[in-house]
Structure 1
Amino acid sequence: MTQDIPTQLKEIKPLKTELSKFMMCYKFALKEIETKINQLEQELEYVNEYNPVKQVVTRVKSPQSILRKVNSKGIPFSLDVIREEIHDIAGVRITCLFTDDIYEISRKLLMQKDIKVVDYKNYIKYPKQNGYRSLHLIIQVPVLMSDGIEYVNVEVQIRTVAMDYWASLEHKLYNKYNKEIPFHIALELREAAHSAAVLDEKMERLRLEMEESDEISGTEADLLELWISNDKFQLPSSF
């Protein structure tokens, strides 16, 4: 027997409330991260007279986008399962001028005791097959709600301006060709990614020359990974 509308509304209301709270947690988590990044910017600018952060962009996936990802991953529509399986509902993208800035920002961010590292992927040191380069972190942030503390996953992507320009173009082409980029364009994209990487390396060398420093910090990535594995987070064996 079909339920009447008032009965349906009674059943929908708790789910709607739960979903609203679920989304609110991610919005609050982003606010926490934005505050931390802002404080970090001010500190670095004061200490080094240089702000490595050029742009910060944040976003929370819409319920529709989350539902599409649920369907694509083949997981049940359960908020608990979604919380465990989908880690990029809240996202932050930080853009820098230099590659070394990426490791400096990530290291400073992860030094904060209330942040837990869930996952770490260095697509700068190990680029994706299509040429994509960026540093990806999944971090867990405590969010104080009225009924207790929620630990919320946030995806943080840190990349240079050149990496970001390439990624934006690749994303547009990916959508334009419905995820099937023609081979000759994909080949040119990989070449462009290599050119962007060469540009980043040249800019880093110029920066070092300007600072009149002989200490080339090419091992920053290795030091960051060592620090994470020893003190904060055990890298997966497949890394």
Structure 2
Amino acid sequence: MAEGKSRMEARRDELIRKNLLSDEFLELIQKNRKPFDLLMSYYQCAIMEIETKFRVLNQEYSLEYDKNPIEGIKTRIKSYDSLVRKIRRKNIPMSLASIEENIKDIAGVRVICSFPEDIYELADSFLKQDDIVLIEKKDYIKNPKPSGYRSLHLIVQVPIFLQKNKKMVNVEVQFRTIAMDFWASLEHKLRYKKDIPEDQAQQLQEELLACATQSAQLDERMQEIRNQLVSKFGE
């Protein structure tokens, strides 16, 4: 089984290289392998900085208010094929400098919270830190996407301290409740299923939209119950 899975993964990787990774991009990486790896390491360092900040905040909330607003933290670096798709979509020059300047979400941190109010409280605490620079904010909780997608998105710059200098690096930070994250995971799987007949895909999208409405209502009800508990019995 393991050998079969390994062969399948190898074939998948080969298909990605042939179909998704343009020759131009591969040539860019080959010629600039060390600078490209260095750039990716900067994004990885920025992720570690952001993740540490949230873990410290969660610890502080635990000690001071006896609550843990963060249920989990997920991180990722954009893959080569995702970069290629974004380069093509944005029609930007094929250079490392252009990638760094124009693609703001190469590094991503997703913070999963217990309740919607925790999201805004945590985001405010995070943005008050004097080494965080807010570049862009999109609130898809108060203004969901037509698909039903809900999340709070921030593009921020965070400093990483290198051997001889400091570098500001862009990171996308997403805040979701557990329900929002579960819904988004399912919607993501549907979006990348290319072999679903159009009529069935449309039906599934409609069902997902209904689920988004129900999950939003559930978040609101649970938030209200939590607020009542806090008002009567404290945190």
Aligned residues, how many?
Answer: 203
Is 1:193 equivalent to 2:193 in the alignment?
no
Shift of the 88–13 alpha-carbon distance from structure 1 to 2, 3 Å rule, reads: closer
Alignment of 1:75-114 (within 5 A): 75-114=92-131
Q: In percent, how many aligned pairs have the same letter?
A: 45
Identify the residue that residue 41 of structure 2 maps to in structure 1. 24
Q: Give the counterpart letter for 1:152 in structure 2.
A: V
Shift of the 197–103 alpha-carbon distance from structure 1 to 2, 3 Å rule, reads: same
Q: Give the counterpart letter for 1:169 in structure 2.
A: L
Identify the residue that residue 154 of structure 1 maps to in structure 2. 171
Residue-by-residue CA offset, 1:153-196 (whole Å, 9 max, x unaligned): 00000010111111011001111136977222211111110000
C-alpha deviation, 1:15, in angstroms: 1.6
Residue-by-residue CA offset, 1:86-129 (whole Å, 9 max, x unaligned): 11100000111100000011011111000000000000000000
3-state SS of 2:57 partner: helix
Is 1:212 equivalent to 2:198 in the alignment?
no
Shift of the 12–29 alpha-carbon distance from structure 1 to 2, 3 Å rule, reads: closer
Shift of the 39–17 alpha-carbon distance from structure 1 to 2, 3 Å rule, reads: same
Structure 2 alignment gaps of length 5 or more: 1-27
Distance 2:33 2:166 in 1: 21
3-state SS of 1:182 partner: helix
Shift of the 161–44 alpha-carbon distance from structure 1 to 2, 3 Å rule, reads: same
Identify the residue that residue 144 of structure 1 maps to in structure 2. 161
Distance 1:31 1:83 in 2: 18
| RMSD between superposed Cα atoms in Å | 1.9
Distance 2:182 2:134 in 1: 27
3-state SS of 2:154 partner: strand
Identify the residue that residue 237 of structure 1 maps to in structure 2. none
Distance 1:12 1:128 in 2: 35
Alignment of 1:114-133 (within 5 A): 114-133=131-150
Residue-by-residue CA offset, 1:39-91 (whole Å, 9 max, x unaligned): 11100110110000001000111334322321232211111111121111000
Q: Give the counterpart letter for 1:21 in structure 2.
A: L
> As a proportion of its length, which structure holds more helix?
2
Distance 2:109 2:204 in 1: 28
Distance 2:81 2:206 in 1: 33
Give me the TM-score of the superposition, normalised by structure 2: 0.81
Distance 1:187 1:65 in 2: 27
Match of 2:185 among 158, 163, 168: 168
Say if 2:29 and 2:36, in contact at 8 Å, map to a contact too. no
Shift of the 69–12 alpha-carbon distance from structure 1 to 2, 3 Å rule, reads: closer
C-alpha deviation, 1:147, in angstroms: 4.1
Shift of the 199–13 alpha-carbon distance from structure 1 to 2, 3 Å rule, reads: closer
Match of 1:44 among 42, 61, 66: 61
